[in-house]
Amino acid sequence: MSAEDVPPFSNSAVDGYAVRACDVEVASKDAPVSLGVVGEVAAGAAPLVALGAGQAIRIMTGAPMPTGADCVVMVEDTEFTGQRKLFDGSQMVKIFRAARTGDAIRGVGDDVHSGDMVFHTRTEIRPSVAGVLASINCRQPLVFPAVRVCVLSTGDELIDDGSVLAPGQIRESNRTMLLGMVNAAGAQAVDYGIVVDDEEVLERVLRQAAEECDAIVTSGGVSMGDYDVVKSVLSRIAEMRWMQLAIKPAKPFAFGLLKSTTGREIPVFGLPGNPVSSLVSFELLARPTLRMMAGHSPAAWDRATILAIADSVLPRSPDGKVHYQRVIAQFKDDGRLHIDSVRSQGSHQLAASALANALAIVPNGDGIAVGGEVPTIFLVS
């Protein structure tokens, strides 16, 4: 709730001349009205003289309205004669356009009135919102704390030091991707690095994360057939649910709560190890939860879903699952969102999906033909 009016005083919306509407009501291009200029007021200054009949005061945008003036004529509709800065009444201004009371004036509280409810709880403080808060002198708004999210990878096979790959090694990519996705979701990613396949080490790292963070994101070791240190440790120290979802990619998923020593329950998101599956499951399941934890309104938890036109075939076979195909989306001249498949849809093919900016929600069946409509999650914020 605002404690101040914005603006706090009536001011000019343009550079021009503050006048009385009754003095210029007959002014026109062919028959201008001449007024004596008796002063000037700049933004940040107070008017030094009051306006009388047949007079004008030079005024700048944002400057307070002088007493006696009830409208402003734009400088483009005037012509000044005489020496500047004297303003003893001998300088004249010709007014070529009539004005009405209130023209080009920003009234007290024209944007915000004292006592107005400006923003409601869970309003995201975007730059424009921050500007409004500054304008009403709200210097310490109540906010939700930033959500700190532990992101880690596990596996003796993973390296990220740039060294030559040894037999059986692969370069870590999921953690790198997820760190960026967490930050892009508005949370604060905390990099816990690569954890070796050692249950004691992993438990120590997870318990540390539960003390220092508000959520934990891991990838890999959540499939039904996996025997992995992640599943072994989390099954023992947290309350976990290991799921097989009817979606593709991202079928395997785990979620649970890990208690800290202070009794806080830290959500744990166990994402699948295939990189595209990890990407999709984060978008569909982890991101909305992190947005909720950060205080966003329910309407901002999920990304926008738009009915799009398929410009290429989106093939699939019936398997009882909903497919989230990676696509390139763009608005075209018809005003509709159009999508084109990235072609390679394998859950391991991150390079093929990296430039996708949307997910087409393809229902169980035989796919979508060219020209067909398909709900599409637009990944661009």
CATH 3.40.980.10 domain span(s) along the chain: 148-300
CATH entry, 148-300, from 3.40.50.300, 3.40.980.10, 3.30.460.80, 1.10.3720.10: 3.40.980.10
The span from the CA of 240 to the CA of 252, in Å, is 13
Q: Which CATH architecture has domain 1-143?
A: Beta Complex (2.170)
Burial code (b: 16+ CB inside 10 Å, e: under 16) for 34-50 equals: ebbbbbbbeeeeebeee
pLDDT digits (tens, 9 = 90+) for 113-145: 999 999 999 999 999 999 999 999 999 999 999
SS3 content of the chain, % helix, strand, coil (to 5): 20, 30, 50
Higher pLDDT, 148 or 172: 148
Mean pLDDT across the stretch 85-90? Answer: 76
pLDDT digits (tens, 9 = 90+) for 172-185: 889 999 999 999 99
Q: Do 177 and 278 touch, CB atoms closer than 8 A? A: yes
Q: How many CB atoms lie within 10 A of CB 223?
A: 19
Query: 305-378 domain in CATH 2.60.40.1940?
Result: no
The span from the CA of 223 to the CA of 247, in Å, is 14
Supply angle C-alpha 252, 256, 260, rounded to 5.
145
pLDDT digits (tens, 9 = 90+) for 22-70: 999 999 999 999 999 999 999 999 998 999 999 999 999 999 999 999 9
CATH 2.170.190.11 domain span(s) along the chain: 1-143
Mean pLDDT across the stretch 242-267? Answer: 95
Structure tokens at 301: 């938890």
